[in-house]
Amino acid sequence: MRIGVLGAGQLGRMLALSGYPLAKTFVFYDMSGSPSAGLGEVMIDREGQYLDDFISRVDRVTYEFEHLPVEVAERIARERPVHPSPRALQVCQNREAEKTLFGELGIPTPEWKIVDSAEALQAAAEELGCPVVAKTNTEGYDGKGQAVLRSPEDAVDAWASINHPRLIVEKFVDFRREVSIIAVRSETGDLAFYPMAENTHHQGILRYSIAPAPRLEKHVQEDAERYIKALLNELGYVGVLTLELFETAEGLVANEMAPRVHNSGHWTIEGAMTSQFENHIRAVSGHPLGNVAPRGVSCMINIIGEHGEIDRILELPYAHVHLYNKGERPGRKLGHINILADSYEELVWRVKNCAQFLPGCPEFQSSLASKG
């Protein structure tokens, strides 16, 4: 089976690496002009001139990045199966549509408003009560295109700094920690849910993910599964879906969803019986889903900006290094490391031991580290 992938970054690279053992071949369709997949067949088409050629080379199509023209996915879907559906792509590209869908499905969200001017932003901040977070309604990821308003008077500066014609304004959530759930749905409607991960961000970028999330009450995992199941079924979804959430004293509050394999699921490569990448390939290819049970406890550490002392890390018997074949640049995701352990206590020690070899890596912060 020939699988077409819209986008050609590290997520596509890892999808292909998991698909080759299942005898899949891959064609990447890159509209950015700067692909980094480094394997398979890559078609660079910034002007959209070779889409028909791409379609002719593939049997099924998926995507590794949601910020691409929905009309391209819709055009392909007229001739080839596209998983997840173009509707999922459309919803995830528009925060207003996403939050509206969450509300319709009974998924809790922060209070929010849409604004289209600095004056409207100030009024929304006053009505919701500061602090609030203002984000671009479309585009924006890894902390880009957003600002925190500590008072309504911050509106003018925030509007200018974001520089986008339409913003969503959300009341700040008083959360204990950030978590995510990754689930996969097959063509026949079968579902599998990975254990939830606890996520730590630094400067808007994910740095650490621990899975299964420590000290997670059973009902919290069940709530997350119920929310993501509603999304999967409503969208007629096929493939991996990620739902990012805040855990609060009152329960879970949804932040956003991603219609693809996700950074907070990289731990599954070594840390689960079947990785998120393999399960996505299984789903979009029409195969049965794989076992999602964890292999002990895991932590994923992102390599950001500089590679650091990779050889020192490779000497650690519990560390699994994944490099994306990218050049160093501030804020750029260059790879990740999966740390496995038999206990959380052992995991904390191993993560701290590994992180010392990554320049600029923030100190390991988690619900585990905070308890000593």
- Cα-based distances in Å from 233 to 135, 191, 300, 346: 28, 10, 29, 39
pLDDT score for 370: 57
* Residue labelled with tokens 């977070």: 133
SS3 60: strand
- What 196-200 contacts at long range (C-beta under 8 Å, 24+ apart), as own/partner pairs, is 196/220, 196/221, 196/224, 197/264, 197/265, 197/267, 198/366, 198/367, 199/244, 199/264, 200/362, 200/364, 200/365, 200/366
* Phi then psi dihedrals of residue 144, to 5 deg: -80, 150
Q: Which residues pair with 303 in a beta bridge?
A: 335
Count of CB atoms situated within 10 Å of the CB of 34? 10
**Where in the chain are all domains bearing CATH 3.30.1490.20?**
111-171
Take residue 340 and report the two structure tokens written for it: 């496995």
Q: What is the pLDDT of residue 245?
A: 98
For position 158, what pLDDT does the model report? 93
Domain with CATH 3.30.470.20 in the chain: 177-371
Please state the pTM of the whole predicted model: 0.94
**Residue stretches of the annotated binding site for ATP:** 95, 135, 140-146, 170-173, 178, 201, 255-256
Question: Which residues carry a binding-site annotation?
Answer: 95, 135, 140-146, 170-173, 178, 201, 255-256
Could you tell me the fold of the domain covering 2-82?
Answer: Rossmann fold (3.40.50)
Q: What is the pLDDT along the chain (372 residues), one digit of tens a residue?
A: 999 999 999 999 999 999 999 999 999 999 999 999 999 999 999 998 999 999 999 999 999 998 889 999 999 999 999 999 999 999 999 999 999 999 999 999 999 999 999 999 999 999 999 999 999 988 766 667 889 999 999 999 999 999 899 999 999 999 999 999 999 999 999 999 999 999 999 988 999 999 999 999 999 999 999 999 999 999 999 999 999 999 999 999 999 999 999 999 999 999 999 999 999 999 999 999 999 999 999 999 999 999 999 999 999 999 999 999 999 999 999 999 999 999 999 999 999 999 999 999 999 988 886 543
Q: What is the four-CA torsion angle of 14, 183, 205, 308, rounded to 10 degrees?
A: -40
The class that CATH gives domain 111-171 is: alpha beta
Please tell me the CATH superfamily of domain 177-371, with its number.
Answer: ATP-grasp fold, B domain (3.30.470.20)
